[in-house]
Amino acid sequence: MASSLQRQLQILLLLLILISFFISAASTTTSPPPSAIPQPPNHFLYASILSTLGFTELSSATFAANLTTTTPITIFAPSDSSLLTCPSCSLPLLLQEHSIPGLYPLHFLRNLAFGTKLETTAPNRCLTITTTTSTGAHDQKVFVNGVEITSPDLFNNGLVMVHGLQGFITHLSPISCNVERMTSLTFPPQTMTAAASFSIMRLMLKDVIVRLRNSGYSFVALALRLKSAELLELKSMTIFALDDASIFAGEGFAYLSHFRFHVVPNKRIAASELVSLPAATVLPTLETGQQLVVTTAGGGGTLAPININYVKVTTIDLLHNGRIAVHGVSAPFPHMHHSVDEEGGYGTIDEKTHCDPTWHNGGACHLVNNAEVPVAAQIGIAGDHEDHHGL
């Protein structure tokens, strides 16, 4: 009887939280009507857009390139004549390497720091954005891997953006995302202002909110919108997201009331870095004094996925852009009590854990039968953040 009553109270609390979310969102922003929300494009739409704009060669590669159908995308499109000069090039691969997740209008590209690298839809391949120095912002030229954007903002329907290039970008190197190997011989580096950084993060956050809402993570999207004032102050972030189905299945109270515990501030941990984190690695969170711990190292695929606080990361790189990475998890993270050595590292970890059965209501996981392991590297953050409970 007590268990049934406790369950009913949890459901009631979850409903109250969800109602407060919707009331807060309605009072701060006005969402477009369902009919006004653009629908995800498909391969035929990509082909139609590129063909209509005169990029016939690139249009023919859209199906083989297998571009995502749920993510806003920007395409840097080379002309047919330039592509014909490279008969050995793979058009589908070139299309992937000329495409980046997210919408990047010309005015936004001009505000990027000199040498900013943007990940393409081709795995582990990045484009480098550079600009000329100019007294007038409208006279500033933008280059993608040294190729000038001569026809900017050719097309933009809210989900697909196309810029025309003067030529084409040769196939990218596996080290194209390595910042340390980037050299600049033509233009001096520029320093990004705080206002420009804030503007970029706002665009990146908006991009993630739209994509999460269209991918079955509408409650996480709503949480991001409600916490946007705090999140926009960050330089980057990693979010561990729980889908709508799991939230409705009974995990909603634990996740939504501790949403800040699922955000790693000022660190964008993409798939390749996430799966390479060793066991016992400590990750900071937006909840002051509360940390996440890699309890099972990744790299084992579906049979041995990475676990954080003993929770499985089900979808690595659910979505990402230049500042934000989102990974899907199977359940909310429980809070763990662990030992900390004199240097502040995470000193012990066990192979078994005992979770308080009431951790959904603020309990925690306690490590038992600890065995010594090497102290893990801390993943640092810049600055301190005021602690707020939940959202």
The domain boundary, picked from 143, 171, 192, lies at 192
Do residues 141 and 252 both lie within one domain?
Answer: no
In a domain, 38, yes or no: no
In a domain, 390, yes or no: no
Report the percentage of the chain scoring pLDDT > 90: 32
Task: Name the 3-class secondary structure at 238.
Answer: strand
Do residues 138 and 153 both lie within one domain?
Answer: yes
Judge whether residue 187 has pLDDT over 80: no
Judge whether residue 321 has pLDDT over 90: no
Q: What is the CATH number of the domain that holds 205?
A: 2.30.180.10
pLDDT of residue 202: 84
Do residues 134 and 157 both lie within one domain?
Answer: yes
pLDDT of residue 379: 46
Do residues 151 and 89 both lie within one domain?
Answer: yes
The domain boundary, picked from 160, 192, 224, lies at 192
Do residues 216 and 124 both lie within one domain?
Answer: no
pLDDT of residue 106: 92
In a domain, 384, yes or no: no
Indicate the range of 90-99, 189-198, 268-277, 322-331 predicted with least confidence.
189-198
The domain boundary, picked from 192, 221, 242, lies at 192
Mean pLDDT value across residues 163-192: 65
pLDDT of residue 67: 80
Tokens of 212: 């999460």
Query: Under 8 Å CB-to-CB from 144, ≥6 apart: which residues?
Result: 76, 127, 128, 129, 165, 169
Q: Which 3-state string (H, E, C) describes 159-207?
A: CEEEEEECCCCCCCCCCCCCHHHCCCCCCCCCCCCHHHHHHHHHHHHHH
Confidence at 14, pLDDT banded by 50, 70, 90? low
**Cβ neighbourhood burial of 287 (10 Å; 0-12, 13-18, 19+):** buried
Domain count, the chain: 2
pLDDT tens for 35-61 read 444 544 466 888 899 999 999 999 999
Q: Which 3-state string (H, E, C) describes 58-103?
A: HHCCHHHHCCCCCCCEEEEECCHHHHCCCCCCCHHHHHHHCEEECC
pLDDT of residue 212: 87
Do residues 27 and 50 both lie within one domain?
Answer: no
Tokens of 124: 């582990």
Judge whether residue 160 has pLDDT over 70: yes
Judge whether residue 155 has pLDDT over 80: yes
Contact 262, 256 (CB under 8 A): no
In a domain, 385, yes or no: no
Do residues 174 and 210 both lie within one domain?
Answer: no
Confidence at 282, pLDDT banded by 50, 70, 90? very high
Q: How many residues does the chain have?
A: 391
In a domain, 100, yes or no: yes
pLDDT tens for 212-247 read 888 889 999 999 999 999 999 999 999 999 999 998
Do residues 26 and 49 both lie within one domain?
Answer: no
Do residues 48 and 183 both lie within one domain?
Answer: yes
Do residues 351 and 272 both lie within one domain?
Answer: yes
Judge whether residue 314 has pLDDT over 60: yes
What residues make up the domain containing 16?
A: 6-31+196-372
In a domain, 268, yes or no: yes
pLDDT, averaged across the chain: 76
User: 194-213 and 218-226 helices cross at what angle (nearest 10)?
Assistant: 150
Indicate the range of 126-140, 246-260, 319-333, 364-378 predicted with least confidence.
364-378
Do residues 105 and 231 both lie within one domain?
Answer: no
In a domain, 142, yes or no: yes
Judge whether residue 141 has pLDDT over 70: yes
pLDDT of residue 170: 84
Mean pLDDT value across residues 129-144: 77
Do residues 300 and 267 both lie within one domain?
Answer: yes
pLDDT of residue 375: 37
Residue located via tokens 């269209």: 214
Dihedral of the CA atoms 134, 139, 144, 147 (nearest 10)? -100
DSSP-derived pairing of the beta strands 365-367 and 336-337? parallel
**CA-to-CA distance for 327 and 92, rounded, in angstroms?**
27
pLDDT of residue 352: 39
In a domain, 383, yes or no: no
